[in-house]
């Protein structure tokens, strides 16, 4: 029990190192990220819960196979999100599914952050509903929806998003600004 607690307190990098020594330690990485990644999969794809779980399994197996490719200069979470994103995109291409924003519940604090950051002002207080936010997000191009999800739902920094989608940080900033602009247009009309 004490050993488990100790491993749970290890950094991601340390867990990678320990997993390469003993594969059983991979369980700690899975436990640390399965919930986050499952929600991320559901947010950027239109798969159902069961399919998302299957994808998650495939992703973790891929992560395990590629552990030696992990560069400690990068945040492990960025690396694992990148693998997840790429796997979801591959799955989408294979299945030709149209990604869409999904009707998950928006927590109140996240809802307020979105409204404030998107500068929706009075409109938010009077008219904005969660359904309208999702409807607007649903109309965004996938590349813009993706950065919105990473920035506002996964709460990633610009640098982290840059590492996940493999674009320069400046491009990420531009994409987020365009996404916000598009979102406002979709939200209003």
Q: What are the residues binding other proteins (CB under 8 A)?
A: 20, 23-24, 26-27, 30-31, 34-35, 38-39, 42-43, 48-49, 52-53, 56-57, 60-61, 64-69, 71, 102-105, 162, 166-171
- Of the candidates 54, 130, 45, the one whose C-alpha atom is nearest the C-alpha of residue 92 is 45
Residues 82 and 146 sit within 8 Å (Cβ to Cβ): no
Instruction: Name the residue nearer to other proteins (CB basis): 30 or 184.
Output: 30
- Of the candidates 108, 109, 92, 73, the one whose C-alpha atom is nearest the C-alpha of residue 145 is 92
Min dist. Cβ of residue 112 to other proteins (A): 19
Residue 33: partners with Cβ closer than 8 Å, 6 or more residues away = 77, 80
Min dist. Cβ of residue 185 to other proteins (A): 25
Instruction: Name the residue nearer to other proteins (CB basis): 162 or 182.
Output: 162
Min dist. Cβ of residue 107 to other proteins (A): 11
Whole-angstrom distance, CA of residue 124 vs CA of residue 38: 29
């Amino acid at each position: 029990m004490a050993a488990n607690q100790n491993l749970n307190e290890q950094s991601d990098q340390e867990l990678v190192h320990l997993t390469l020594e003993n594969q059983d330690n991979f369980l700690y990485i899975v436990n640390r990220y399965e919930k986050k990644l499952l929600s991320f999969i559901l947010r950027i794809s239109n798969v159902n819960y069961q399919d998302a779980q299957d994808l998650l399994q495939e992703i973790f197996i891929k992560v395990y196979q590629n552990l030696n490719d992990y560069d400690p200069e990068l945040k492990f979470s960025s690396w694992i999100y990148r693998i997840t994103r790429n796997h979801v995109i591959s799955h989408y291409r294979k299945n030709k599914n149209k990604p869409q924003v999904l009707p998950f519940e928006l927590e109140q604090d996240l809802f307020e952050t979105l409204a404030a950051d998107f500068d929706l002002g009075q409109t938010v207080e009077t008219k904005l509903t969660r359904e309208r936010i999702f409807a607007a997000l649903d109309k965004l191009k996938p590349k813009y929806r993706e950065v919105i999800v990473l920035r506002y739902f996964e709460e990633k920094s610009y640098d982290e998003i840059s590492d996940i989608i493999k674009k320069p940080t400046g491009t990420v900033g531009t994409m987020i600004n365009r996404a916000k602009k598009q979102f406002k247009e979709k939200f209003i009309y």
